[in-house]
Structure 1
Amino acid sequence: MTQLRTVRTPNGPRIEASHVLEADPDAAWDLLVDTRRWLEWSPVVTDVEASHRRLETGTTGRVRVRPGIWVPFAITACDPSERRWGWNVARLPAAAHRVDDLGSGRCRVAFELRPFATVNAPVCLRALERIDDLLSSETAVEPAGTTSSDVPGDSADADE
């Protein structure tokens, strides 16, 4: 279920774009904090250069956004225990990103937008769809009785 709603956050009132996923919250968190994977789920990011591959408070870098403009960023807060990170983009406070554990292998991924940034809501909603697609494909279970060596073209047994 995808939602767009007003919420209170540690940083004040925000517009939250969120989506409930059938996915492990740790897997969702790993996807959000791995800068090499931003291109997979962000509809606007086309390249990333970062001081750390995995986000932590103080990580800096730049993202290339459509149509090819490089924009600097700085991670202002990253709390793995809360599964929440926030950043400044072009020196301006931007969205916070959060993963909530809903139990039973489900989680909510949320982007917290400042009220003046609601114009970004469609981009966030598309990103949430991509995150859901990525995590669904990564957690797909192989049919019973198959192994990776049963997959045509698998080179695991090439030397045998």
Structure 2
Amino acid sequence: MALELGTSSVSLEKTPDGRRLVVRHGADTSVDTVWNILTDTDCWADWGPSVTAVETATRYIDDGTTGRVCVAGAVWLPFEVTACTPYRWTWTVARLPATGHFVEERAGGSVVGFEIPPLATGYAPVCARACQRIATLAQQRDA
């Protein structure tokens, strides 16, 4: 999918986890830099509008990583990373399927994206904001 740097798109697509609403944002930075930010739990509160803190035994997630995430500054919810392969990871939060996260290579940079379960489509604006924040953080690191 062609996506201009600094712009976002939203579409309904078939993903490895079935039909999802997919939010993408073009970034003028490397896939590896974006991936580092997506998998570094120390960064989640910097880019996740609803995340205020994370507790886990390991800083960087992998398949099977568990922990707790604090949302809205008040509620702690358990999470488990259900799949983590290069450039894509998914998780459950409070045992419910949550967003998928990915980064794709593209000419001149990368595309960061979220896959949203159909029942959570109202979360798309939050995911779009998170994608923008990730792109900004990655560009600052690459500068």
> Structure 1-normalised TM-score?
0.83
The one of the two structures with greater contact order (alpha-carbon pairs below 8 A, sep at least 6) is: 2
Provide the secondary structure at the position in 2 that maps to 1:18.
Answer: strand
Is 1:58 aligned to 2:64, yes or no? yes
> Structure 2-normalised TM-score?
0.92
Match of 1:133 among 124, 131, 136: 136
Runs of 4+ in 1 over 4 A off after TM superposition: none
Match of 1:78 among 84, 88, 103: 84
Residue 139 (structure 1) shift: 1.8
Aligned residue number for residue 146 of structure 1? none
Provide the secondary structure at the position in 1 that maps to 2:62.
Answer: coil
CA offsets per residue over residues 122-141 of structure 1, 9 Å max, x none?
1101111111221222222x
User: Greater strand percent: which structure?
Assistant: 2
Provide the secondary structure at the position in 2 that maps to 1:72.
Answer: strand
Matched length: 137
Aligned residue number for residue 94 of structure 1? 98
Provide the secondary structure at the position in 2 that maps to 1:54.
Answer: coil
Once the two structures are superposed, the pairs formed by residues 40-51 of structure 1 within 5 Å of their partners are 40-51=46-57
Select the structure of larger CA radius of gyration: 1
> Which letter does structure 2 place at the counterpart of 1:72?
P
Provide the secondary structure at the position in 2 that maps to 1:39.
Answer: helix
% same residue: 43
CA offsets per residue over residues 49-103 of structure 1, 9 Å max, x none?
01221111110000001041001100000002xx100000000011110011114
Aligned residue number for residue 4 of structure 2? none
Flag structure 2 segments of 5+ consecutive residues without an equivalent. Answer: 1-6
Aligned residue number for residue 124 of structure 2? 121
* C-alpha separation in 1, matches of 2:140 and 2:126: 21
Q: What is the CA RMSD across the aligned residues, in angstroms?
A: 1.0
* C-alpha separation in 2, matches of 1:27 and 1:137: 10
Aligned residue number for residue 143 of structure 1? none
Flag structure 1 segments of 5+ consecutive residues without an equivalent. Answer: 141-160
> Which letter does structure 2 place at the counterpart of 1:90?
A
